[in-house]
Chains A and B, each alone.
Chain A
Amino acid sequence: MAVIFELAVQGAQMFSVLLLAPLLIGFVRKVKARLVRRQGPSVIQPYRDLARLMRKEVVLADNASWLFRVTPYLIFAATWVAAALVPTFATGLEFSWAADLIVIVALLGSARFFQALAGMDVGTSFGGIGASREVMIASLAEPAMLLIVFSLALVAGATQLSTVAAFMGSPEVGLRVSLGMSLIALVMVAIAENARIPVDNPATHLELTMVHEAMILEYSGRHLAMIELASFLKLLLYMSLISCVFLPWGLESAGAGPKSLAVGAAAYLGKLAVLAILLAVFETAVAKMRVFRVPDFLGAALMLALLGTLLLFVSRSL
């Protein structure tokens, strides 16, 4: 019985992230629109967009290969699996031991690997520009992320995300310099990974500075829907990650009763709303940077993460 309940909780997590992700994007867009005194589309507009894209026919370039057609599903699957393994409202999910934090980072790396390849498949200049810039950003963001994982693992004594989240919720944590550095670095990495301002502009199209949009320029119809949904899931994943590690309040163990799980779910939604508003305010307040300023931005994240890890090697209590 307990196993069935835990499986149900895991299933609920998998489908709730899938359902929530477009809503989160819609909410961020709405807040951004209101901040610049526009009416903005409804918060459920991303669902409508996805539904419409899925029903449309796909227009493939003449020389697109099988890889181009498979990639959207691979990107979606890798991102979805990663997002389903991050604790949202409960820790200790049925399959949480299948992958630790390093695996989650690497799963997102797999998704990016295929996305960059798909960008190069048709052989247009835009695809190449997007892919080459994406791997440049990733080559700095990924080590920064791994060093953040190292810091968290050294503080909590585990790379298992459930254990980390449970430890961060316990009073043993206290205030630590290294965790502060990790938080700042994680936010910077999250901004870069999700192609948000100031690294990339998610609203842009036809601009020489675009990165993510340039890679997916040739996609249309259901393929584009899958990639868009994957990028929505990625934003949700990073927000869940930040909230379960740095805002662990209200996070319940999966074995707890339905009532406390409901409380956990409500707390999770509240945290997401706060983070979404913060993101919208930040994006409205800053301008996009030049592409070759991005390495400086991410280099700072990398150095912060490295410094945090070094401090923990020096003393476990820092």
Chain B
Amino acid sequence: MSTVALLLCGPAALLATAILAAAISRLAAATRLVYGAALFISAALLATVAGHLAGNPGEVSAVTLPLGLPWTGARFRLDGLSAFFLVVVNLGGSITSLYGLGYGRHEATPRRVLPFYPAFLAGMNLVVLANDAFSFLLCWEFMSLASWALVMAHHRDEANRRAGYIYLVMASFGTLALLLAFGLLAGPAGTYAFDAMRTAHPGPFAAGAVLVLMLLGAGSKAGLVPLHAWLPLAHPAAPSHVSALMSGIMTKVAIYGFIRVVFDLLGEPAWWSGVAVILIGGVTAVLGILHALMEKDLKRLLAYSTIENIGVIFASLGLALAFKANAMPSAAALAFTAALFHVLNHSFFKSLLFFGAGAVLTATGERDMEKLGGLIHRLPVTSFVFLVGCVSISALPPFNGFASEWLVFQAILRSPELPQWGLKVIVPAVGGMLALSAALAAACFVKAFGITFLGRARSAAVERAHEVDRWSLAAMAVLAAFCLLAGILPGFVIDGLSPVALSLVGDRMPVQIAEPWLSIVPIAESRSSYNGLLVFAFITISASLAAFFIHRFASHAVRRGIAWGCGFVDAVPAAQYTAVSFAQPIRRVFGGFAFRARETVDIPAPGALEPARLKVDMHDLAWEIFYQPITGAIDFATERLNHLQFLTIRRYLTLVFLYLVILLLVLALWP
């Protein structure tokens, strides 16, 4: 039995679990059974892929199953790229299932979640393994629909129904774009199989069209601006562990789709394709994080921050395309490895943060940060692991987010060697955007952690909060450990990614494990190097030394008292800084162009008793510029067409007659 056939048993088992779950979902033990089975199957899949990678990472194994359309069959294939994404999917899947063992018990309507959860996992696994256009699209749609069902789990809420509707529309649009892209790739011969597409090289026009369609299709699923509108609505609407899967894992499957087509099937890229992807990535990163900063709903903040990270990944992929087009394989390998490393890192910390948001939701029933605060006293473990997630996503050393962003910056610094002027102008500007988005991300997560966990409790729900169950804590602790490990030992991850880079961009980064002290050295030591392990050790040692000496030789006395606050004590917790007021300086700096934000202050006349009011007017420009004209046009057209429903029989007959005449005319004049 080949490896891929063995791997296909996993999704089959997950689908069987889904059917079983539909049958038993009313039982009390169903939650435990389903998540336990999902955990076991994902872990088994992970072990199989790990065994395959440890044995022979370069090996490609393919299988054709007699399923799907008659005479075509369904092809599946495992290569380095699929193996890496299978690791991402199943690592995320198993830890999410572990979390679900605890979190799922708080679900009010488990029968709306349990059957779709394993199906969603199966869909993501199948997309990564698919090796022909038909199976790919089928699995992609299956994944979309399963996640849509999960978004609609709490369908009694009006906002969730709207989110589900917009998600469904955008998912159909994305699949349409993918369908057209595969149609172009299949060419006049209409070859379904990826193997045939790989050898057929489309012309420059078709290749450009495929790139644009992939940016629309995979980009809408991943959340590229301006196709992101559904993401901050749909991801938070699902139960928190599903939000983690959608944000942490499903967006990565979309990136897999993009890489599979653009790097693998499309052949040699043109240099301008790099420009397009880099620019979209940079804009996505900055706008995503600015939206996140303005948000006061914890889960929506996390969803917007996903958009930022997707932007970083796409900018790095765009760099890899530009380098590949200019025959600079070593630089392309650096940019490509950085992108994949960030894919892995983002799946860790975004899942961790959504789990943390889920824990807060379980403990307090609140997602609105303005009603939280002071949770560090009530949820000590959750707040610690959430802090680890915040530090990692803010790209601060020695955690993992920094390691991959550092590699992206190193790749940017290789780009002056690119010959085209378009790239020479775009790359430094996008470098500035990525630096800006990294700094804004730190600001955003100071806000997310500070408002939610620090300060004083803003509502009674917080006062009653208790630490969540052990399963959830275990899942979050495992992810926090991964965040630290990938940050202090990045060399192992980079070496693990080298077969993928080698097969898709034709080169790999230098071997890192052999470097002294486990540093990472992308090009040469005199040029740049980073050692997360040593930085971590230095910080730990110097902080402990300082604490030890001061406590030993100076003073260790502590007295508790009321807060100083310049002698002025805020009477009520509501007087604290809130999420909105925390973001106010940044809104004043960036809001003007990003949201057309306008503030008006209403000051009552002297002597009047009503309070003064501050009104902030903000616009979601992507929604207003791109979506409203389209929905407006559709509304207008349907309104007009609606009149046709209420005609007299005479007019209907005239219409039919006219239609026949036009049809005959066309037929007669057709050459």
Contact = CB atoms under 8 A, between A and B. Distances in A.
Contact of A73 (B442, B451, B543): B543
B397 A291 contact: no
Contacts of A292: 585, 588
Contact of B542 (A60, A80, A127, A139): A80
B278 interface: no
A132 to B, nearest CB: 4
B585 A150 contact: no
Interface string B521-564: 00001111111001100111011101100100011011111111
Contact of B432 (A120, A124, A132, A309): A309
B559 A59 contact: yes
B331 to A, nearest CB: 14
Given A113-B396, A158-B526, A217-B564, A135 B442 contact: yes
A110 interface: yes
A226 B527 contact: no
Contact of A99 (B435, B442, B531): B531
Given A54-B554, A139-B440, A158-B527, A106 B582 contact: no
A226 B377 CA distance: 24
Interface in A140-190: 140-143, 146-147, 150, 153-154, 157-160, 163
Contacts of B356: none
B20 interface: no
A72 to B, nearest CB: 9
B425 interface: yes
A140 to B, nearest CB: 7
A121 interface: yes
Interface residues of A, number: 84
Interface of B is mostly: helix
Contacts of A163: 526-527
- Interface size bracket, B side: 35 or more
Interface stretch (A19-27, A263-271, A273-281, A310-318): A310-318
Interface string B427-442: 1110110011011101
A95 B391 contact: no
Interface of A is mostly: helix
A81 B558 contact: no
A106 B526 contact: no
Interface in A37-66: 54-63, 65-66
A76 B547 CA distance: 10
A100 B377 CA distance: 38
B607 interface: no
A60 B588 CA distance: 34
B394 interface: yes
B139 to A, nearest CB: 39
B450 interface: yes
B10 interface: no
Interface string B392-425: 0011110000100010011011011000000011
B586 A136 contact: yes
Contacts of B447: 132, 135
Nearest to B582: A132
B576 A125 contact: yes
B552 to A, nearest CB: 11
Contacts of A99: 397, 530-531, 534-535
B387 A106 contact: no
Contact of A103 (B530, B543, B564, B576): B530
B489 to A, nearest CB: 14
A147 B435 CA distance: 8
A107 B563 contact: no
B451 A120 contact: yes
Contacts of A73: 543-544, 546-547
A159 B528 contact: yes
A163 B528 CA distance: 9
29 contacts: A58-B558, A66-B380, A98-B531, A106-B397, A106-B406, A107-B535, A109-B439, A112-B442, A113-B391, A113-B446, A116-B450, A124-B569, A126-B565, A126-B566, A128-B576, A135-B447, A136-B589, A138-B442, A139-B443, A142-B435, A142-B438, A146-B409, A146-B431, A150-B412, A217-B564, A222-B555, A309-B431, A309-B432, A310-B425
Given A62-B560, A73-B546, A124-B576, 20 more contacts: A63-B377, A76-B546, A77-B538, A98-B517, A98-B519, A109-B394, A123-B576, A124-B564, A124-B569, A125-B570, A125-B576, A132-B581, A138-B439, A140-B439, A142-B435, A147-B435, A153-B528, A221-B557, A225-B550, A313-B424
Q: Which 6 A-B pairs have the closest CB atoms?
A: A128-B577, A123-B455, A57-B557, A136-B585, A77-B543, A135-B443
Interface of B: 373-374, 376-377, 380, 387, 391, 394-397, 402, 406, 409-410, 412-413, 415-416, 424-425, 427-429, 431-432, 435-436, 438-440, 442-443, 445-447, 449-451, 454-456, 517, 519, 525-531, 534-535, 538-540, 542-544, 546-547, 550, 554-555, 557-566, 569-570, 573, 575-577, 581-586, 588-589
Interface of A: 54-63, 65-67, 73-74, 76-78, 80-81, 95, 97-100, 102-103, 106-107, 109-110, 112-113, 116-117, 120-129, 131-133, 135-136, 138-143, 146-147, 150, 153-154, 157-160, 163, 206, 217-218, 221-222, 225-226, 291-292, 295, 302, 306, 309-310, 312-314, 316
